[in-house]
A and B are shown apart, each in its own frame.
Chain A
């Protein structure tokens, strides 16, 4: 059971938009910043979003992040088949004194 809660899967058609939610609590998301990671099949995770909404260089603006209270959301627009991957949210949990991740969301681009 992960500390952060994500939907196990989401799906959408190519070109459409999808959002992935990440729900936490006052000990993690509400009082901290969130990062998001993409793990393509057979590859290492890759940072997509940090500081709730910032994108590292090289990450297209089709990817966006937001946070409100104890929840965060990853948005992906203009879906491509190459976006099919597992997506994870992460943040610091002050009660556990550790980085915690969501259980991951598998994105299918139909």
Chain B
């Protein structure tokens, strides 16, 4: 059974750093893209980016490039999302998700998320 278990609730102050985690089991961590999705309060889903743990290839949504860092530790099958300086606008629920990258005729590709973590609530407030 595929499981993605995320770290717990975080309450931080603006300017602080944070690293949340997503521990995976039930599949070969190195062989699948894994990424993060943000859901701000009362808003929809936003894809932040993905990493391929096998070679650490990382792709960011341009909207999040430079704002967060996605990493993975193959030795413990865990993906991370980190901030160096949090803002109040980072307050959201963050989900990790296994991403399947599919190629389609014509050379295009797309990702879909077939397994999701339970979510990590992050609150940033002074």
- Contact status B110-A33, CB under 8 Å: yes
Residue of B nearest to A32 (CB): B110
- Contact status A103-B44, CB under 8 Å: yes
Taken residue by residue from 42 to 57, chain A's Cβ proximity to chain B (1 for < 8 Å, 0 otherwise) reads as 0011110011000010
Residue of B nearest to A33 (CB): B110
Taken residue by residue from 66 to 97, chain A's Cβ proximity to chain B (1 for < 8 Å, 0 otherwise) reads as 00000000000000000000001011101011
- Measured CB to CB, the closest approach of chain B to A62, in angstroms, equals 19
The one of A37, A99, A104 that contacts B111, using a Cβ cutoff of 8 Å: A99
**A110 located at the interface, meaning its Cβ lies under 8 Å from any Cβ of chain B in the complex:** no
- Contact status B104-A35, CB under 8 Å: no
Report, as a range, how many residues of chain B touch the other chain.
20 to 34
- Contact status B106-A50, CB under 8 Å: no
Residue of B nearest to A51 (CB): B102
Residue of B nearest to A35 (CB): B112
In angstroms, Cα B44 to Cα A31, docked, is: 23
**A101 located at the interface, meaning its Cβ lies under 8 Å from any Cβ of chain B in the complex:** yes
The one of A47, A98, A103, A104 that contacts B112, using a Cβ cutoff of 8 Å: A47
Chain A residues in the interface with B (C-beta under 8 A): 2, 31-33, 35, 37, 44-47, 50-51, 56, 88, 90-92, 94, 96-104
| A31-B108, A44-B117, A45-B45 given; 8 more Cβ-contact pairs under 8 Å | A33-B102, A44-B119, A45-B95, A46-B116, A47-B113, A90-B45, A98-B47, A99-B110
> Can you report 28 residue pairs joining A to B where beta carbons are below 8 Å apart?
A2-B44, A31-B106, A31-B108, A32-B110, A33-B104, A35-B112, A37-B45, A44-B117, A45-B37, A45-B45, A45-B97, A45-B113, A46-B116, A47-B114, A56-B114, A88-B45, A94-B108, A96-B62, A97-B59, A98-B47, A98-B63, A99-B47, A99-B111, A100-B47, A101-B46, A101-B47, A102-B44, A104-B44
